A and B are shown apart, each in its own frame.
Chain A
């Protein structure tokens, strides 16, 4: 049976996950990418309020395509963007209380440290499968910072069963990406350095 976690996520939810697990998310998911992270940072530095509560939140590194009709916002396609660009914000995002980060390509050492310190996981959504992923989102609740542009705004998504998402980095310091990177580097050594 598929494992479905509901937001806001708890410490128990996160502790129960290890790399390689496959999960789905139900409930509210916030999108944030480059400019939204920068805006959060600015607001925090100026002690200004944030428009949403990030405690237990799932933050999706994504820039969706959304249209507006009489009934409101409608999601057309959505998919993950490269998370590595948000690496400089690892500590800030952990401190905010975010429990799950959804993206692609993974993150590095500062994130792994934050994940252990704050009890977070990294979930990879299938890259380049935007038509398929949009099926898991049932509605767009609202949008903040729309002036940043459609991809860069903070979208509040309501998920019915969003996924599948692979736990690629867990809260115990494990990363699927590091394991694979190490193997690839070894292979290059075999192919070139020992020749």
Chain B
């Protein structure tokens, strides 16, 4: 029955992770660049326009000289979609991913921003490991790997609320808008807003994070959620926070929503923010 197993050496995964750690931090995603260029056209605030031009110049220099676009090259999140017909050989998957992160952050001169213990011993691990790894088993013979470097400034401005069904779509919208307003200038606007809706307490946060992996300018395939993305983007850009938080219409470049089924009593909503750099990259092995 089915396909014969395909063997994949985990050293290939390590190599890909190393490469993407460096590449993602130096190359701001094309969708974000396009959105920044559009914003430069439409921004009405003169300070905002200046800031956007400066951001685009920074991202160009980073790309051309392979420098990190932001000094905060984040914690490394690694998402693996592992085809169930793949047999991994040559070592342990998690070790391979961590060695890829270790080498990428060393060789790319990327900042090491992980501490061992959140409360009692905040000692830098020195190599940006451990990576935060999520593995999904999927059909097929491919392995898709995504590396996202998540900076602390935007991450700290995230929020989660367990709404109840009566809140409805208006409640969801209001929570998202309030979260973005509360974040204000801290997540380095213009931002990308990742929204998770549904699932459970833990799942909704992951949905919000995964929403940020979708390109800026893409839309949810469900028309109602695509419409909600557009409405939220319009309302967020009425808040007047603007580029760098100095005022203007470009507070967000995009709103990406992911949703999941949930309990009859629940309506969880999570908001996870990316700055205008938002490094992430994928490869299929």
Contact = CB atoms under 8 A, between A and B. Distances in A.
Contacts, number: 153
Nearest to A195: B170
A128 B276 contact: yes
Interface residues of A, number: 44
B247 interface: yes
Nearest to A64: B71
Contact of A126 (B51, B124, B242): B51
Interface stretch (A7-15, A73-81, A89-97): A73-81
Looking at chain B's contact residues, is the secondary structure mostly helix, strand, loop, or mixed? loop
A78 B65 CA distance: 15
B103 to A, nearest CB: 16
B113 A151 contact: yes
Interface residues on B, range: 35 or more
Interface stretch (B6-14, B181-189, B207-215, B259-267): B181-189
A191 interface: yes
A48 interface: no
B275 A128 contact: yes
Contact of A132 (B58, B123, B245, B277): B58
B240 A180 contact: yes
A76 B109 contact: yes
Contact of B184 (A63, A131, A152, A181): A181
Given A128-B55, A191-B177, A106 B112 contact: no
Contact of B245 (A67, A81, A180): A180
Contact of A188 (B47, B113, B177): B177
B69 interface: yes
A187 interface: yes
Contact of A65 (B71, B156, B184, B277): B71
A124 interface: yes
A76 B51 CA distance: 22
Most B Cβ at <10 Å: residue of A35, A62, A127, A134: A127
B58 A128 contact: yes
Contacts of B276: 128
B71 A62 contact: yes
Nearest to A83: B186
A131 B275 contact: no
A50 interface: no
Contacts of A140: none
Given A65-B109, A127-B275, A132-B54, A184 B239 contact: yes
A97 to B, nearest CB: 27
B174 interface: yes
Contacts of A149: 112, 115, 123-124, 126
B246 interface: yes
B186 A84 contact: yes
A126 B188 CA distance: 9
Interface in A147-195: 148-152, 166, 168, 176-177, 180-181, 183-185, 187-188, 191-192, 195
Rank and list the top 9 A-B pairs by shortest CB-CB distance, nearest first.
A149-B124, A129-B58, A105-B186, A127-B188, A130-B71, A132-B58, A184-B239, A131-B67, A184-B181
8 contacts: A128-B276, A130-B67, A130-B71, A131-B67, A149-B112, A180-B247, A181-B184, A191-B235
Interface of B: 47, 51, 54-55, 57-58, 61-62, 65, 67-73, 109-113, 115, 122-124, 126, 152-153, 156, 170, 173-174, 177-178, 181, 184-186, 188, 235, 238-242, 244-247, 275-277
